[in-house]
Structure 1
Amino acid sequence: MKIYLAMDDTDSLDSRGTGKLARATGAEISKEFHVDGISRHQLFVHEDIPFTSHNSCAVIHIEAEKRDDKEWIYETAKECMLGDFVEGSDPGIAVACADEILPPLIAYGRDAQRIILNQKKARTLAKTLGIRLEGLGGTEDGVIGTMAGLGLAKAGNDGRFLMCGQIREMTGPADVATLCAAGVDAVYTIDGHEVRDGMIMIPEGKSAKPCPVDGKKILFVENVDGQYHSVKRG
């Protein structure tokens, strides 16, 4: 059973980012359940929306055994977030089984990428769908992006993975076979050709950032002077 745990607005300009907190939270959850990946989703950037640097949310993708497991997952994540609360942040957290994320929430996620939304709509939607949603401090505006994250992650074809498999343990250039063994399902050029072998140029100190595409983790690359260079999308 797939369970999604979303978080948003957990940082400030001078603190660690939401992605780092999501990875730390994912590490705690992985002590009990398999974490399939952690995805980042870009939300609407507008002068009337408070955000730190990029206005993105993070979602942890978890393989669980039964529906009730989401309560343990939620409480564990909440403890991690409160234990690393950053003054000036307005965090939100939500958890849902895949079959609880219905079309209205997926549409809400898409809306959050193009228009300004508010807490009332997020909370009403959560109540209607029976999704556990909570603000953990500040203005609690993070509940807006948190609900959006659930919809975007479940719909797929959005954002990029901050973590999946052992991909973060590999930095710098790597060959296709090694990348696939580490967690990438396939490598494609941005113009549609599958790359089955050879080296992929990834900046030193950086790891590959595959994207969710139809249930697969796809790394996109572009050919520059005969070399394939990884492309960061989402």
Structure 2
Amino acid sequence: MIYLAMDDTDNLESRGTGRLARAIAVELSRRYHVMGVTRHQLFVHESIPFTSHNSCAVIHIQGDSGMDDIFDTAKKLMLDDFVEGSDPGIAVASSRQVNSGVVAFGQDAKCIVVNQERARSVAANAGIRLEGLGGTEGGVIGSVAGIGLAASGSDGRFLLRGRNRELIGPQPVWALLSSGIDQVMTIDGRLVNDGMIAIRKSPTPSFVQGRAVLFVEESDGGYVALKRP
């Protein structure tokens, strides 16, 4: 698996990192098998500059070749989309490069303040290609963290997974499962195999043990899809 991560690509007036990541994923899918795009929540603290929610995005690509092309393609698209006031960073790594230091950095970035120096050191020690693309280059922090969190297989939620963006409004469980979502499950761990699911926008399944799991809760004889962090 190849992980392409990006962070701090926006300002208050521009489209968010998640939307940009989805656009880049669509472009990369012309040549690679894109498995999905995940969003990962990072630490929110007054000393950390961020646009809205301090999250990063990671594109999951099946395979282990083409990393330079993937990085260069995404870098160009990010530079073409650069907006003043943003501090973008980008990183790419294969699953075999993600060592315990990268995973630990990702976990720390969720609960404490981490800095660029450590992010760059962690990336260098793991042989991960990392680059800041403007501003303060603060996005390198979220980019390295995103790789560690995505590679863990159990963090964040999918912004893009198969055809999930096409599903809006009430959906039968079979439609969700055929769209690319692996499981529908209640928050107390019960699998849901049939019935209707009310969806406010498009479903954003959680990333749990390498699977896309849409969590739901019972409501008025049916179920309502939940949006997990």
Residue of structure 2 in register with 1:226 after alignment: 221
Give the C-alpha shift of residue 98 in structure 1: 0.6
| 1:34 pairs with 2:33 | yes
Q: Which secondary structure does the structure 1 equivalent of 2:227 belong to?
A: coil
Give the C-alpha shift of residue 226 in structure 1: 2.0
Which segments of structure 1 move beyond 3 Å, counting only runs of 4 or more?
none
| Unmatched segments (≥5 aa) in structure 2 | none
Q: Distance in 2 between matches of 1:36 and 1:16?
A: 22
Q: Distance in 2 between matches of 1:170 and 1:48?
A: 38
Give the C-alpha shift of residue 120 in structure 1: 0.3
Q: Distance in 2 between matches of 1:169 and 1:175?
A: 14
Q: Which secondary structure does the structure 2 equivalent of 1:137 belong to?
A: coil
Residue identity matched to 1:43: L
Q: Which secondary structure does the structure 2 equivalent of 1:5 belong to?
A: strand
Contact 2:195 2:222 in 1 (8 A): no
Q: Which secondary structure does the structure 2 equivalent of 1:12 belong to?
A: coil
TM-score of the two chains, using structure 1 as the length reference: 0.96
Q: Distance in 1 between matches of 2:222 and 2:12?
A: 36
1:18-37 alpha-carbon deviations (Å, 9 max, x no partner): 01100111011101001000
Q: Distance in 2 between matches of 1:125 and 1:187?
A: 36
Q: Distance in 1 between matches of 2:153 and 2:89?
A: 21
Q: Which secondary structure does the structure 2 equivalent of 1:37 belong to?
A: strand
Residue of structure 2 in register with 1:49 after alignment: 48
Q: Distance in 1 between matches of 2:69 and 2:123?
A: 19
Q: Distance in 2 between matches of 1:157 and 1:124?
A: 24
Give the C-alpha shift of residue 225 in structure 1: 2.9
1:58-80 alpha-carbon deviations (Å, 9 max, x no partner): 0000013x43x100000000011
Give the C-alpha shift of residue 122 in structure 1: 0.5
Residue of structure 2 in register with 1:213 after alignment: 208
Residue identity matched to 2:53: H
Residue identity matched to 1:19: G
Q: Distance in 1 between matches of 2:101 and 2:221?
A: 45
Q: Distance in 1 between matches of 2:203 and 2:126?
A: 35
Q: Distance in 1 between matches of 2:221 and 2:113?
A: 43
Identity %: 59
Q: How many residues align?
A: 229
Give the C-alpha shift of residue 218 in structure 1: 0.5
Residue of structure 2 in register with 1:190 after alignment: 187
1:103-148 alpha-carbon deviations (Å, 9 max, x no partner): 1110100000000011000011111111000000000000001100
TM-score of the two chains, using structure 2 as the length reference: 0.98
The answer to which of 6-15 and 222-231 deviates more is: 222-231
Q: Which secondary structure does the structure 2 equivalent of 1:16 belong to?
A: coil
Give the C-alpha shift of residue 169 in structure 1: 1.1
1:166-199 alpha-carbon deviations (Å, 9 max, x no partner): 1101111100000100011110000111100010
Give the C-alpha shift of residue 213 in structure 1: 1.0
Residue identity matched to 2:148: G
- Write out aligned runs for 1:10-25 (5 A): 10-25=9-24
